[in-house]
Amino acid sequence: MTDTDTHAESAVIVKRVDSGSADTTEVRDLARAAGYEVAGEVTQTRTEDPAYHLGEGKADELAAVVARTEATVVIFDNQLGPYQTYNLGNKLPQGVRILDRFRLILEIFGQRAQTRKAQLQVELAELRYELPRAEAKASLAKRDERPGFMGLGEYDESREQDIKNQIANIREELRSIEETEQHRREQRRESGFDLVALAGYTNAGKSTLLRRLAADLDVDANEGLHPDLDSTAESQDRLFTTLGTTTRRADLDRREALVTDTVGFISDLPHWLVESFKSTLDSVYRADLVLLVVDVGESVEEIREKLVTSHDTLYERNEAPILTVLNKIDTVDDEELQEKREALAALAPNPVAVSAKEGLNIDRLRERIDEALPALQRERLVLPMTDETMSLVSWIHDHASVENVDYGEQVVIEFEGRPAIVEQSRAKAGELVEASA
């Protein structure tokens, strides 16, 4: 099922909160992202009921809404236990499916997974979601010695071990993929590229910003050197457009960078789900700089909560400095922007405010990226005038920022580049000097 299906299944949205009012904006977006048409909603403010999640009266009301709208799916913006799912199923019309928040997210991930790595990560997340349910089923079946107790299905004592074995096999394959990608990252650094990663919540504008930073460059020409470069980065206004990673080459004047857009964060994700996608997040964790993109049009409370969650996710394994980008300044006035800057100063010191959509302040962002990346090293080489020297000069032009070249009896080249590039150029120069002696 896709967003463009003309016969999308209809769904009723359900959300329970302990206090306050239930906001269903995000779960509606998630449902639409999965291809469902929202036909109605039921909300409740109360503590969780162990039998139905909702109160029993509210569960009856839900059943009536489902019958009236003829919905085929009920989507909870909460996590349901197997016992609650079974009891709710007995309340609802026959054949109606029940998805909780995490099962819905996994369904979306499954639709978006295009690469082998993404498919493996989705499968891993699904298995990690299923494992505690298989364990609960086994525990209940053993305790009550009744197959199919509470509608949980026939107990198969081998299922729990099968899941654990599959998880182990997937992790091993993902580890192999990660090693290959880490090797590629190191090759890129050795080729003179800085690695910049975009992070942030879905719909913060990361893909639009990627296109803006790399808008004028022909990425396809470099695919022979970097096989996973992708010249297209979708910037549609929908959740989870980017499940895998998209990398494009960006010119930052003094240096060249490879900028990678990754899967967007989403609120209230359990640790096991984030952990399942850590392979995708490696491109963030192992970057030279992370651009943390937020939608400045949201409320201060929303932005603050997302920044805290993002920092928790990033600082666990992140090795790079973080530069916060306040995106979508075209949606707020100058006074509101300044107020939000001040309110968020503790979490986002000295952020860059831009509009990726309108192209506002992108040049300033490029400058800040250059300032935040690892310092370049200056070098001056004196080389013999030979054909081999001309090849080295050409190589330095391709991998560093050349300031001056003097051609006389000898060739004197002054440049600045990443330390690894300077080290390689010295080694190559040493070989040329020895050969000409």
Q: Is 204 part of any known ligand binding site?
A: yes
Q: Is 329 part of any known ligand binding site?
A: yes
| Residue reference for tokens 């162990």 | 50
Strand residue runs (E) in 73-185: 73-76, 97-99
Instruction: Give the span between the Cα atoms of 169 and 166, in whole angstroms.
Output: 5
Q: Are 257 and 195 in contact (CB under 8 A)?
A: yes
3-class DSSP state of 379 = strand
For residue 248, give both structure tokens. 């494009």
Q: Give me the helix-helix angle, 278-285 and 157-190, nearest 10°.
A: 20
Q: Is 262 part of any known ligand binding site?
A: yes
For residue 404, give both structure tokens. 């001056």
Q: Is 21 part of any known ligand binding site?
A: no
Using the CB atoms, write b or e for 177-216: b if 16+ within 10 Å. Answer: beeebeeebeebbebbbbbbbbbbbbbbbbbbbbbbbbee
Q: In what order do the strands lie in the sheet with 377-384?
A: 377-384, 410-417, 401-407
Nearest to 191 by CA among 245, 255, 287, 248: 255
Nearest to 214 by CA among 258, 275, 173: 258
Q: Is 284 part of any known ligand binding site?
A: no
Q: Is 233 part of any known ligand binding site?
A: no
Q: Is 327 part of any known ligand binding site?
A: yes
Q: Is 74 part of any known ligand binding site?
A: no
Q: Is 202 part of any known ligand binding site?
A: yes
- Please provide the size of the chain in residues: 437
- Cα distances (Å, whole numbers) of residue 144 to 148, 151, 158, 276, 298: 10, 13, 18, 33, 51
Q: Is 3 part of any known ligand binding site?
A: no
Q: Is 356 part of any known ligand binding site?
A: yes
Q: Is 263 part of any known ligand binding site?
A: yes
Q: Is 40 part of any known ligand binding site?
A: no
Q: Are 83 and 51 in contact (CB under 8 A)?
A: yes
For residue 340, give both structure tokens. 């939000």
Q: Is 261 part of any known ligand binding site?
A: yes
Q: Are 345 and 301 in contact (CB under 8 A)?
A: no
**CB within 8 Å of 145: residues ≥ 6 apart:** none
Q: Is 36 part of any known ligand binding site?
A: no
Instruction: Give the span between the Cα atoms of 211 and 390, in whole angstroms.
Output: 35
Q: Is 428 part of any known ligand binding site?
A: no
Annotated binding site for GTP: 200-207, 261-264, 327-330, 355-357
Annotated binding site: 200-207, 242, 261-264, 327-330, 355-357
Annotated binding site for Mg(2+): 207, 242
